[in-house]
Amino acid sequence: MQKRKLGRSNLEVSAIGLGCMGMSFSYGPPKDKQEMTSLLRAAVERGITFFDTAEAYGPFINEELVGQALAPFRRQVVIATKFGFKIDLTVERGLNGLDSRPEHIRQVADDSLKRLKTDVIDLFYQHRVDPNVPIEDVAGAVKELIQAGKVRHFGLSEAGVMTIRRAHAVQPVTALQSEYSLWTRTPEKEVIPALEELGIGLVPYSPLGRGFLTGAIKESAAFDRSDFRSRLPRFTPEALKANQALIDMLGSIAQRKKTTSAQIALAWLLGQKPWIVPIPGTTKLRRLEENIGAATVELSSDDLRDIAAAASKITVHGDRYPEHLERMTGL
């Protein structure tokens, strides 16, 4: 697979990464560990070198899965993980607010290193901006971890432009991870121009709209209570029905290009900037191979413009998150 560098850093990764969250967290019960181990190793064999996890996924079990599965390939791959949540296993989903105090960041780094079976974290993101801790203190704590050899690169997730600039002034930010896709284009207005100016890479999560942009989720879809999408405004039956126009548009382009809707959605992202690396998640080998195939789909500048123009005429119904979670995005 082609490689890309995240911004002006020397961090080179496969053009498409693999988001590992859904293997253990958010989309129903944790999947079979042996099957997911096989899938992670199949990804490496097919050229993926960029894997995304977090202590919050599970919590903890996703890092353990990724660490164990990728141990034989550790020198070939880049592993990104995250800090910033207060983990409390007595509450639902195990997350009880934010905590980016420097002492907590240091503890998370040590614990993540053990679970990932490694001596260095390639990319360490702040999972969500903590309004109670100055971002300069967060960046300073990660800078110390980099100087200590425990972390290679610093990242932010769902941060706004001013936060990015303040953090970058203390410790250069290698990558920003934020939701970005044909149905969530918020970063285009302010964030992407700032990233280009500062030389920071963009890692879009949910680049396939939590599965919606594949065309596989119909308006009649019912989600189990353990599936995070059951609580998202954009996945109500009414919103799914209204948003079908986006799928119809993608489907017609995919048919013309003799490819799939998912591949068009990913290829469109890859075509935006050479320093954008989407991390679609999956638990199925056929979907993994389909996603990888997007890296070879060629979209001309006219194609990219036509897709963006068509998408702009479609109003996406439903917020990304319930209001209390939307407030944590920092955008």
Separation of alpha carbons 12 and 217, rounded Å = 33
Q: Which of 27, 57, 180, 205 is flagged as catalytic?
A: 57
Alpha helices by DSSP H, listed for the chain, are 33-45, 61-70, 102-115, 135-147, 161-170, 191-198, 237-242, 244-257, 261-270, 285-293, 301-312, 323-326
Q: What are phi and psi of 97, to 5 degrees?
A: 95, -175
Burial class (CB in 10 A: 0-12, 13-18, 19+), 92: exposed
The terminus-to-terminus CA distance of the chain in angstroms comes to 32
Residue of 76, 78, 72, 127 lying closest to 105 (CA atoms): 127
Instruction: Please say if 57 is a catalytic residue.
Output: yes
Return the active site residues.
57
